[in-house]
Chain A
Amino acid sequence: MSERENILGRIREALVVSAPLPGSHGDTTAHATAEPPASHAREWLPSVGASVTEQFELFAKNAADLKADFQVLASRDELKTVLAKLRDAEKWQRIASHDGELSNFACKSLGLPVTLTDRGYEVQEMEKCDAAITECDALIAQTGGVAVTSRSAGGRALSVLPPHHVVIARREQLVADLPSAFALLQQKYAPDFPSMISFITGPSRTGDIERILVLGAHGPKKLTVLCV
């Protein structure tokens, strides 16, 4: 018998006796409801506001709390200007990115040498890049976070290895809350999910030393979200 069969066998035997449902005061006959218990999560998680305007404001507030830089831009021209300002202020010399409508536009406008990941890349080369420019799947108002996948954001390392991560997003990509974000990802990709989905909520951080917040523990020290 394989260990698989051993373990599954022990599980089945153990589950012959029912355990009471939480909050049922020992009642083992209470049946779980048909609807998933977490389906009303939106009603209990922090509130997000009804309008898109309120949700943008909430995203902005959350991003600020996370020490992520967030800007809503009126046009592609403004995006160009902001990127150029960033390049000059941060003294970028080389960037990394992936193929995508927005990311291509951004890279072109920056006019810097680019390491593109799509057809494979040398890690040591990405290590020399000052920033990564990626697209994303969603911005989440409730948390100030960004959802990326290995398919939408140039692989697994791009959004975490270089010291500055810049996300270029479309306005329509803002969703209200986490349940919406998960629903969006499921609808967009199931059953053939990208091998990595990541919710990025702020620049990398640690509190392991005396619980003092330090940014840039291993992942990017800076996160910039530009919404156009």
Chain B
Amino acid sequence: MSSASKFKSLATEKSGDLRHRQVIRTALRGYEIVRDKRKAAFQSWESARQAAAETKWEAVNHLDKHLESLVAKLESRGTKVHWASTAAQAREIIAQILRDKKARSIIKSKAMTSEEIHLNHALEKEGFTVVESDLGEFIVQLRHEPPYHIVFPSMHLTRGEIKDLFQKELGDAPSDSPEDLTMVARRVMRQKYITADVGFTGANFAIAETGMISITENEGNARLTAALPKTMVTLIGIEKVLPRFADLALFLPMLATAGAGQPMTCYNTMYCGPRQPGECDGPEEWHVVLLDNRRTELLADAEQRDALHCIRCGACLNVCPIFRNVGGHTYGTTYSGPVGAVITPHLRGLQEWKHLSNASSLCGACTEACPVKIDLHHHLLQNRRNASAAQPAFFEKLAYQIFGIVANEPRFWSLAKKIGWLTQPLHSAIKGSVLDPARSWTKTRDLPPMPRETFKDWWRNRK
């Protein structure tokens, strides 16, 4: 089954799942209320967006210089920096570090890039134990499913489902209260932090000026992952660069506001090296793996380059009516929602993934929500244009060519309307059935009755 057919089939199933629809609506309603409150607290959210957009423009459009500065500074403090052009290279680099350290257990804090390169699966195949420490990721890891949302991995689950999961997989679920369930995860994680050989993190930003990696979180699991194990590994996409340390004063509150409706998340931490002389703890070795994985191809598309400005806040997912109705798993790929629909054709192949760009009503809510002003919905149109130009669909193209002849030639247009009106009674008989050419509409909706006199008829009769 192609990715497109899989998507369509899952989308159809999920769109009709009223329970799922309600769970997601409820989850997002809570977010919307606090998000709007936090946005309103800004003296000017719109000015902040414009500045954030310009800052990311500066970062991405001078990416080589910023990466060189970042790496030079990181290396000067003893960090080992690796460059990975592909997912396979990144996996191999990370696996080799684990082999060199003779590591057995790895504690991970949330990293969408690690999902992107399918790291866990590769490491587990080699015999390493990988534990997700972020509560949401921990939950979906136990369920053997990918994260549902880039910021809220388990938002599709109710407390009852999580209780049953913990009971089944951990034998420990005192009740279904979120407090009790969270404490179960806290208990399970404690010794894992302390005994893990390697701590693995993702990253939200990389600061070129000062050579730092910045990690945003609420739970504290990333801080512990970066504090206790002897070796730390961080995977980060090359596009995550910000030019200056001071830029974080703008981006951290914006990420928290747009992503979670918080003024700041609980922990925002900048690392500039492994344990330094005079410091009492921290990893002896820190490896930073810079990931390309076709980001440079998106970079080369100047029209859509701003898609690399994405700070992975998830705001576009939260407002997208498609996401809200089909859910994160339906997309079948790491990055879902509008940003995923824009970048996945670039990162994984246009023809195979164009359906994500097609599955949109182009309402533009995503573009409006994006804190860095990525022109998301217009990029979906551009992907459609590029896909059709490279590989037009024969019948669709023909249909538009015919429509082109009919629409602006008054005699043909009149004729088409007449035929429509005459065949209306016939259509009632086959409406919604397999014989109905308009079945994709009439399966769930009625068609409007065609009036005898069209507007053009009325206009002509006036004269």
Contacts and interface: CB of A to CB of B under 8 A. Distances in A.
A and B, direct touch (CB closer than 8 Å): yes
Given A3-B89, A201-B266, A204-B266, A211 B43 contact: no
Interface string A105-137: 000000000000111110110010000000000
B243 interface: yes
Interface stretch (B13-21, B58-66, B97-105): B58-66
Contacts of B305: 14, 19
Contact of A195 (B67, B77, B266): B77
Interface string B301-332: 01101100000000000000000000000000
Contacts of A2: 83
A23 B50 contact: yes
B275 interface: yes
A104 B119 CA distance: 45
Contact of A157 (B47, B57, B224): B224
B267 A199 contact: yes
A40 B372 CA distance: 16
A185 B271 CA distance: 13
Interface in B232-270: 238, 243-253, 260, 263-270
Interface stretch (A69-77, A87-95, A212-220): A212-220
Interface stretch (A49-57, A166-174, A176-184): A176-184
B340 interface: no
Given A206-B218, A210-B159, A198 B154 contact: no
Interface string B41-77: 1111101101111110110111110011001000001
Contacts of B55: 36-38
B226 A196 contact: yes
A37 B58 contact: yes
A182 B269 contact: no
A205 B218 CA distance: 5
Contacts of B281: 117, 120-121, 150, 155-157
Interface string A187-228: 000110111111111111111111110101111100000000
Contacts of A203: 266
Interface centre among A18, A23, A202, A218 (most CB of B within 10 A): A218
B52 to A, nearest CB: 7
B342 interface: no
B85 A3 contact: yes
A151 interface: yes
A10 B296 contact: yes
Contact of B61 (A3, A15, A194): A15
A103 interface: no
Nearest to B181: A209
B266 A205 contact: yes
Contacts of A199: 252, 264, 267-269
Interface residues of A, number: 88
- Interface residues of B toward A: which range? 35 or more
A22 B299 contact: no
Contacts of A183: 246
A182 B212 CA distance: 13
B54 A45 contact: no
Given A7-B290, A195-B279, A218-B186, A127 B246 contact: no
Given A7-B292, A44-B45, A38 B154 contact: no
B249 A182 contact: yes
A87 B223 CA distance: 26
Nearest to A200: B267
B27 A15 contact: no
A104 to B, nearest CB: 16
Interface string B120-148: 00000000000001111001000000000
A220 B61 contact: no
A212 B30 CA distance: 9
B276 interface: yes
Contacts of B63: 11, 15
Contacts of A143: 253, 263-264
B390 interface: no
B206 interface: no
Nearest to B375: A22
Contacts of A101: none
Interface of B: 26-27, 30-31, 41-45, 47-48, 50-55, 57-58, 60-64, 67-68, 71, 77, 82-85, 89, 133-136, 139, 152-155, 157-159, 162, 178-179, 181-183, 185-186, 189-190, 193-194, 210, 212, 218-221, 223-224, 226-228, 238, 243-253, 260, 263-276, 278-282, 290, 292, 296, 299-300, 302-303, 305-306, 372-373
Given A22-B53, A38-B244, A195-B77, 16 more contacts: A15-B64, A19-B306, A21-B57, A37-B51, A38-B55, A119-B280, A150-B279, A156-B279, A178-B248, A182-B245, A196-B282, A198-B270, A208-B154, A212-B159, A214-B182, A217-B220
Interface of A: 2-4, 6-8, 10-15, 17-19, 21-23, 28, 32, 36-41, 43-47, 62, 98, 117-121, 123-124, 127, 143-145, 150-151, 154-157, 160-161, 177-179, 181-183, 185-186, 190-191, 193-212, 214, 216-220
29 contacts: A3-B83, A3-B84, A4-B71, A6-B83, A6-B85, A13-B300, A15-B64, A32-B57, A44-B43, A45-B48, A45-B250, A117-B280, A123-B194, A155-B227, A156-B223, A156-B226, A156-B282, A157-B281, A160-B220, A190-B210, A193-B272, A196-B282, A201-B265, A201-B266, A206-B218, A207-B152, A209-B159, A211-B152, A217-B219
